[in-house]
Structure 1
Amino acid sequence: MRLRFHCQNRIGILRDIVSHFVDYGLNVARGEVGGEHGNAIYLHVPNLLNAQLATLKPVLEAVPGVFGVRRVNLMPSERRHLELDALLSSLSDPVMSIDMEGHIVAANRAAGQLLGVRIDEVPGLSLNRYLPDIDLPALIRRNNARVNGLRITLRDATFLADIAPLHREHLDDVASLAGAVVTLHSVDRIGERIYQVQRQELRGFDALFQASPRLASLIREARRMAPLEAPLLIQGETGTGKELLARACHLASSRGQAPFMALNCAGLPESMAETELFGYAPGAFEGARPEGKLGLLELTAGGTIFLDEVGEMSPRLQVKLLRFLQDGGFRRVGSDEETYLDVRVICATQQDLPGLCAEGHFRHDLYHRLNVLSLAVPPLRECLDGIEAMANHFIDRAARQIGCRAPSLSPAALARLSAYHWPGNVRQLENVLFQAVSLCEGEAIEPSHLRLPDVGEAPGLSGMDLDGTLADIMGEVERRVLATLYPHHPSSRQLAKRLGVSHTTIANKLNRHGIGSDG
């Protein structure tokens, strides 16, 4: 059991506290001093029972200078270790801390995979055996400053290494060097890294497309809801950008500088989803870490948690989430201590939650808690008036990532994009155009470069705007027919022959709808 003593910072207070555990024959395994002014003492007493604590607590609080005693889940050092471990595990690049003899002190999971060992086998390994041609400790002493982009080869792979020296006691002379943190960037991913940097140049709502009136209206609604503290439910099909919208709402809120964490509830076993979201106490189950695990909620304290595919959440998790939404409290797995946090919840789903409630698969009370604010992201097939601007953006982005000149989009290719039903929405559009840019060897992307699987074809009038007069609706049907057929008959003469009308009629209709060019 771990205890926190809120106490006066005086000589001998620790001795006075510990003496009472000695009287009960209890061993204090570890102790730490914390608080802003050393006014908190933490003790780890492994064999202390709840009944013993109930008896001891009044005695301990009677010690002069002790103001209160309570149970805690983690010692301060354990919490720092968990937070550091969570941070390192989230990094895809290998990161290692080495001492001045070249031995690895700590590393993340990516480094262990690179070295070909388990993560618990990494500490103590000599990095020199993997880098026989480079004496890193000598390099660190010689430079005594950060080194960026050092080209190295490790296990037949080429990396650019960033080396940050570590000093003792905030000194910066060579004698105070304690080691260095080494981060390895794969040369093969440098282009992707540049692409990610470019992708982050625009953040929040500025990174979202507003070329279509439907999308512009959605962004206006989202901007009004973003600063509000209430839960937000985002509904939309797969690939419509629900997480991007959630991040934009987070950045535009008063929590924008606090953490944003995401958890996809689909496909995760119930036990894994529960420990990921709520964490677990030390020794909660067989195979658990002895120090426990922080959940995403605690790592997000003060920020925003994004729960994707919330409709897939198990009944047990629905109950715990409902409790958290009601009063901000929850219990880690295997713990009976209440934890209270200030975290905004944003959820997303592509399912019909009211329908799931009617079928008994989703709690009505949880649905009403989540649906305080709601946004509906339209599918791409309902925003085709903005597809040309989106397509040009994705083509430019793909060309930058691949490292080639950006091709243009031919009228026939644009017509093919406009006529497609897009079951994967914006994400599918981006992937299709990335592939098209990689296949294109000329100056323009043609229909042959667009790999569009004919699956999930929208039946009948699905996705068609039926507002307006009959003439407006028939005009839209005409536009779709011409846009679908034009890529296969890419001239007004060919298309006129296919449809059995005059060349002049088809040329006028193509011109009216902005499809292709007369051949």
Structure 2
Amino acid sequence: MRLKFHCQNRIGILRDIVAQFADYRVNVARGEVGGDHGNTIYLYVPQLLNAQLATLKPALDAIPGVFGVKRVSLMPSERRHLELDALLSSLSDPVMSIDMQGRIVAANRTAVQMLGVRIDEVPGLSLDRYLEDLNLPDLIRRNNSRINGLRIKLKGDTYLADIAPLHSEKNDVASLAGAVMTLHRADRIGARIYQVQRQELRGFEAIFQSSPRLEALIHEARRMAPLDAPLLIVGETGTGKELVARACHLASPRGQAPFMVLNCAGLPESMAETELFGYAPGAFEGARPEGKLGLLELTEGGTIFLDEVGEMSPRLQTKLLRFLQDGGFRRVGSDEETYLDVRVICATQQNLPQLCTEGLFRPDLYHRLNVLSLQVPPLRECLDGIEELAAYFLDRAARQIGCPLPGLSPAALEKLAHYDWPGNVRQLENVLFQAVSLCEEKVIQPLHLRLPQSEEVPELAGIALEGSLSDILGDVEKRVLSTLYRQYPSSRQLGKRLGVSHTTIANKLKRYGIGGQDD
């Protein structure tokens, strides 16, 4: 059991507190002092039971200078360890801390996999056995400053190493305690430069606004970004919902605080719950003895982005609703309430009102999430800007691959403009990246655009054959009008395209509920 004492900072108060446990013959395994003025004491008493604490509490409360005693889930050092572990685990590059004898003190999971050892074998492991012709401690002493982009060979692979020295006191050689080394694969440096270039434009500036629909979306998002209410972003897969969410976070007062992401789709309920809310020490078999911080706690003061929230289990929906109502929750296996200040942004490609009707999503949670909402349009509704968007992606692809910027032939552009894009902007970016890699000339032709033919006009697929001929033809007519209306968005334009009077088209659009039925 871990206890937190809010108390006066006076000489002997720790002795007086520990004496109560000694008199009760209960061992205190560890203690820590915290608070801004040393006015908080934490004790780890592993054998203490709830009934024993209830008996001891009056005596503890009676100690002069003790203002309150309560149970906590983590000691401050345990929390720091968990936060550091979570940070290191989130890094995709190998990161290692070494001492001045060249031994590894700590390493993240990527580094452990690179070395090919078990995680419990890492502490004390000599890095000399893996490095070729490099005395790392000697290099750190000679430079005594940060080293960036040092080319090294480790286990036969070439890396670029960033080395940051660690000092115990002053920044002189005598106080060197080791270094933190981050490794980057040399053969992937081009991709890393590309990723850096992608991050140069942040927030709304990173969203390419090539059509009036996208401009309107960004205008709405900019107005909602500074507000602290929950935000629900709705849109098909590949439309950039996370990009919009991140831009809203960066444009808000929380922009300098963490932005964490959890994709609710495909995660088992137990895993999603521990990822989001964390768990207490010893919460279940196989759990870490020190417990685990959830994404909510790691996001304190920032924004949590819950993607595909429509996939969330009923149990998690209940816990999320409770958190939205009062900011409180309990970790798995804990009875302690935790209260946090976190903004919640959710995204879904599902029809949440329909899920509520079907009993698959809580209506009260939907209304809590839908305080502010944004509808991200699919690419097929923004085809008036596809030429500019294609040019933007071609430039990015050429920079990443390191080749001259190719042009786009009129025939290739025509093919792009008449495709339905079920994967939306993400699919367009991937298709153009592949086209740049396939193109050996200076101009991309239609043959370079690998588009699945079966997906080009999904509106005309899967026509239900139930009902009368009139019902079937009505379904086909509705699909045709819905498809063409995106390119001819008025009854006059569409009537001219189909060779029918605009009055006839206006009546059919009204019957099928398509568009705004404007002339």
What is residue 472 of structure 1 aligned with on the other side?
493
Q: 1:475 deviation in Å?
A: 5.7
1:155 Cα offset (Å): 1.6
2:120 matches 1:99: no
Q: Give the corresponding residue for 2:78.
A: 78
- Kindly state the Cα deviation for residue 342 of structure 1 after the two structures are TM-superposed: 0.7
Aligned residue identity for 1:148: N
Letter in 2 for 1:438: S
What is the distance in 2 between the residues matched to 1:89 and 1:469?
53
Identify if the C-alpha distance between structure 1 residues 346 and 475 changes in structure 2 by more than 3 Å, giving closer, same or farther: farther
Question: For residues 256-275 of structure 1, what are the structure 2 equivalents within 5 Å?
Answer: 256-275=255-274
Q: Which amino acid aligns with 2:68?
A: G
Shift of 1:66: 1.3
Q: Name the residue aligned to 2:198.
A: 199
Q: Is 1:18 the counterpart of 2:22 in the alignment?
A: no
Partner of 1:177: 176
One-letter amino acid of the structure 2 residue matched with residue 115 of structure 1 = L
Asked if 2 retains the 8 angstrom alpha-carbon contact of 1:381 and 1:463, the reply is no
State the alpha-carbon separation in 1 of the partners of residues 149 and 280 from structure 2.
41
Q: Does 1:374 pair with 2:373?
A: yes
What SS does the aligned partner of 2:248 have? helix
CA distance in 1, matches of 2:393, 2:399: 10
Deviation of 1:471 (Å): 3.7
Q: Give the residue type in structure 2 aligned to 1:230.
A: A
Residues 260 and 295 in structure 2, CA contact (< 8 A), matched pair in contact too: yes
Q: Secondary structure at the match of 2:69?
A: strand
SS in 1 for 2:71: strand
Check the 8 A contact 2:3/2:42 in 1, yes or no: yes
CA distance in 2, matches of 1:6, 1:455: 67
CA distance in 2, matches of 1:155, 1:242: 41
2:428 is the alignment partner of 1:407: no
Q: 1:247 to 1:464 in 2, by over 3 A?
A: farther
Output the CA distance in 1 between the equivalents of 2:396 and 2:412: 18
1:469 CA displacement: 4.4
Query: Aligned partners of 1:476, 1:230: CA distance in 2, in Å?
Result: 45
For 1:130, give the aligned amino acid.
Y
Match of 2:151, SS state, is: strand
Quote the offset at 1:156 in angstroms: 1.8
Q: Secondary structure at the match of 2:485?
A: coil
Please give the alpha-carbon distance, in whole angstroms, between the structure 1 residues aligned to 2:350 and 2:342.
Answer: 24
Partner of 2:109: 109
Report if the CA contact (8 A) 2:132-2:153 is conserved: no
What is the CA–CA distance in structure 2 between the aligned matches of 1:469 and 1:317, rounded to whole Å? 45
Task: Give the whole-Å Cα distance in 2 for the aligned partners of 1:217 and 1:148.
Answer: 43
SS at match of 1:178: strand
Q: What amino acid sits opposite 2:83 in the alignment? A: E
Question: Do structure 1's residue 394 and structure 2's residue 384 form an aligned pair?
Answer: no
Contact 2:330/2:338, CA 8 A, preserved across alignment: yes
Q: Which residue of 2 is the match for residue 513 of structure 1?
A: none
Per-residue CA deviation, residues 404-437 of structure 1 (Å, 9 max, x unaligned), is: 1110111111000000010000000000000000
The answer for the alignment partner of 1:444 in structure 2 is 443
Counterparts of 1:189-268 in structure 2, within 5 Å, are: 189-268=188-267
Q: Which structure 2 residues correspond to residues 298-309 of structure 1 after superposition, within 5 A? A: 298-309=297-308
The residue that corresponds to 2:511 in the other structure is: none
Cα deviation per residue 1:209-231 (whole Å; 9 max; x = unaligned)? 22111111111111111111111
Q: Deviations over 1:455-506 (max 9, x none)?
A: 333323344436754441156679xxxxxxxxxxxxxxxxxxxxxxxxxxxx
Secondary structure of the residue aligned to 2:19 is helix
CA contact (8 A) 1:283 1:292 kept: yes
Matched to 2:230, the amino acid is P
- In structure 2, distance between residues paired with 1:475 and 1:399: 41
Cα distance in structure 1, aligned partners of 2:166 and 2:305 = 36
- Higher mean alpha-carbon deviation, 240-249 vs 48-57, is at 48-57
In structure 2, what is the equivalent of residue 127 of structure 1? 127
8 Å Cα contact 1:278/1:298 also seen in 2:
yes
Q: 1:475 to 1:75 in 2, by over 3 A?
A: farther
The corresponding residue for 1:485 is none
Indicate the RMSD between aligned Cα atoms, in angstroms: 1.3
Which residue pairs with 1:486 in the alignment? none
Give the Å deviation of 1:152. 0.8
1:64 Cα offset (Å): 1.4
Q: What is the identity, as a one-letter code, of the residue corresponding to 1:268?
A: L
Match of residue 314 from structure 2: 315
450-459 or 229-238, which moves further after superposition? Answer: 450-459
Q: Aligned partners of 1:25, 1:469: CA distance in 2, in Å?
A: 85
In the alignment, is the contact (CA less than 8 A) between 1:382 and 1:463 conserved in 2? no
Deviation string 1:9-49 (CA, Å, 9 cap, x unpaired) is: 22211111001011211111110111111111110001111
Distance 1:473 1:185, change over 3 A: same
Q: Would you say the 8 A contact 1:162–1:182 is kept in 2?
A: yes
Structure 1 CA distance for aligned equivalents of residues 353 and 418 of structure 2: 32
Distance 2:228 2:104 in 1: 45
- Contact preservation (8 Å) 1:258, 1:300: yes
Which runs of 5 or more structure 2 residues have no equivalent in the other structure? 460-478, 500-519
Moved more, 155-164 or 89-98: 155-164
Distance 2:33 2:496 in 1: 76
2:36 counterpart residue number: 36
Q: Contact 2:132/2:154 (CA < 8 Å) preserved in 1?
A: no
Q: Which residue matches 1:508?
A: none
Number of aligned positions between the proteins? 477
TM-aligned CA deviation for residue 63 of structure 1: 1.1
SS at match of 2:200: coil
TM-score by length of 2: 0.90
Distance, in Å, in 1 between the alignment partners of 2:30 and 2:47 is 12
**Cα 1:475/1:87, change in 2 over 3 Å:** farther
Alignment correspondent of 1:419: 418
Q: Retained in 1: the 8 A contact 2:4–2:70?
A: yes
Secondary structure at 1:257 match in 2: coil
Q: Which residue identity does 1:414 align to in structure 2?
A: L
User: In structure 2, what residue type is equivalent to 1:53?
Assistant: L
What is the distance in 2 between the residues matched to 1:476 and 1:232?
Answer: 40
Deviations 1:314-339 (A, max 9, x none): 11101100100110000000000000
* Alignment deviations for residues 107-132 of structure 1 (CA, whole Å, 9 cap, x no partner): 00000010011222211111000014
Identity, in percent, stands at 79
Letter in 1 for 2:494: I
* Contact kept? 2:94, 2:182, Cα under 8 Å: yes
